[in-house]
Amino acid sequence: MSKKEAETDQLVTQIIAGIEEVKGQNIEILDLRDIENTVCDYFIICDGTSNTQVNAIVNSVQKLVSKSLKEKPWHIEGSDNAEWVLMDYVHVVVHVFQKQIREFYDIEGLWGDAKSVKIETTY
């Protein structure tokens, strides 16, 4: 495993932990590495039940990743209305949706060729 792959795996682990810390739901990882011309290696997708929870998920991920890996997102978009917030960590892009918005845009369907892993949560 290369250094970049190890760092990306650590990042994915910390992002998932940040989502779980504030009870983000329906967590799914899309592995885009085998698809040509993708913008990143992974999408991590989850949903929250309200604007407040979506913002809490974003803040939790930012805080945990910053504290444990000293990394900040390259870009964050959508925080104003908190229906769909995108956090770009370059090799990993996090999509935090409200449930109905996630269903409408169906990112998983658009990237149907990607390997998908659903994360089981215990809450």
What domains lie within the chain, and their CATH numbers? 3-118 (3.30.460.10)
Q: Distance between CA 113 and CA 104 in Å, rounded? A: 19
pLDDT tens for 63-104 read 999 999 999 999 999 999 999 999 999 999 999 999 999 999
As a whole number of Å, the CA-based R_g of the chain is 13
Residue 61 tokens, joined: 């991920």
Residue 8 tokens, joined: 């990306």
Provide the 3-class DSSP secondary structure of residue 120. Answer: coil
Q: Report angle CA 48, 82, 123 to the nearest 5 degrees.
A: 15
CB 44 within 8 A of CB 59: no
pLDDT tens for 1-59 read 788 889 999 999 999 999 999 999 999 999 999 999 999 999 999 999 999 999 999 99
CB 34 within 8 A of CB 115: yes
